[in-house]
Amino acid sequence: MTRAKLDAIRDAAPAVLPSMLICDFGDLRSEVAKLVDAGTKVLHLDVMDGHFVPNLTYGMPIIEGLRRHTDLPLDVHLMISDPLKYARPMVEAGADMLTFHVEAVEDAVHTAREIKKLGVGVGVALNPDTAIRDLDSCLDEVDMVLVMSVNAGFGGQSFNPVALDKLKLLRDSHPDLLLEIDGGINEDTIGRARAAGCDLFVVGSGIFRADDYGVAISELDAAIAAAGEQTENGQRGAGS
């Protein structure tokens, strides 16, 4: 049951999730092996359809190819106009978590329930300009919220701090909900996201442009840990 992988994702948090968008697709086996050696616990895949977002990436064959090379949970971000049309094929290819965009569907509750019937974890994503209240109807139906700190599907954007405000609100209102952030995550921003309550941190160029994946991930992990310690110390100080 792929829903069991949801527990593995929860247990991995806080965790850096390498975004496979800019990996070497000509040598997936080696890329996965290097990421595993670097301590990766979950892989993140960005599926774009050229319609909901302007870019076109990959579909089920890449997910299936990755599944042949690893048992790690596959966290699949569907930046597509019709997530339910492709949900089952994505699960059959090996996806363990499917995240759809609230902006892409008319009925987020129905979408979340239909995906959950497939036996996988369910996430809902929102872009920086989307109000957090747009998630109100479906928060009790999903396992995770992906807060975008850049607009989905566009490259070269700066980190939008509005994501931090959304993370804080979600953490306060839904303490058991998995929270993920994507877009502009690096050593400078990852600690701020952790302090805001984030659990999962999607990183692309910060890993794959590095000479050593292990060093890159270790530095990101250290920034997460430091932010967690500062938060705990602040809470103790406030309570003393």
Q: Is the peptide bond before 14 cis (omega within 30 degrees of 0)?
A: yes
Confidence of residue 237 (pLDDT cuts 50, 70, 90): very low
Confidence at residue 168, expressed as pLDDT on a 0 to 100 scale: 98
Q: What are the tens digits of pLDDT across the range 189-210?
A: 999 999 999 999 999 999 999 9
pLDDT computed for residue 11 by the predictor = 96
* pTM (two decimals): 0.94
Q: Averaged over 49-72, what is the pLDDT?
A: 93
97-101 vs 144-148, strand pairing mode? unpaired
| Catalytic-residue membership of 182 | yes
> Could you tell me which residues come within 8 angstroms of residue 66 by beta carbon, excluding any fewer than 6 positions away?
20, 28, 32, 43, 45, 74, 94
* CB-CB contact of 61 with 46 (8 Å): no
Catalytic residue among 96, 182, 199, 221: 182
Catalytic residue among 46, 75, 96, 199: 46
Find out whether 30 is annotated in a ligand binding site.
no
Active site residue 7: no
Contact between residue 45 and residue 74 where contact means Cβ atoms under 8 Å apart: yes
**For the chain, domain boundaries:** 3-239
Task: Give the residue among 25, 93, 32, 85 at the shortest CA–CA distance from 57.
Answer: 25
- As a CATH number, domain 3-239 is 3.20.20.70
214 is in an annotated binding site: no
154 is in an annotated binding site: yes
Mean pLDDT, rounded, for 14-33: 94
Q: Please state, in angstroms and as integers, the Cα–Cα distance from residue 180 to each residue in 33, 43, 176, following that order.
A: 24, 13, 13
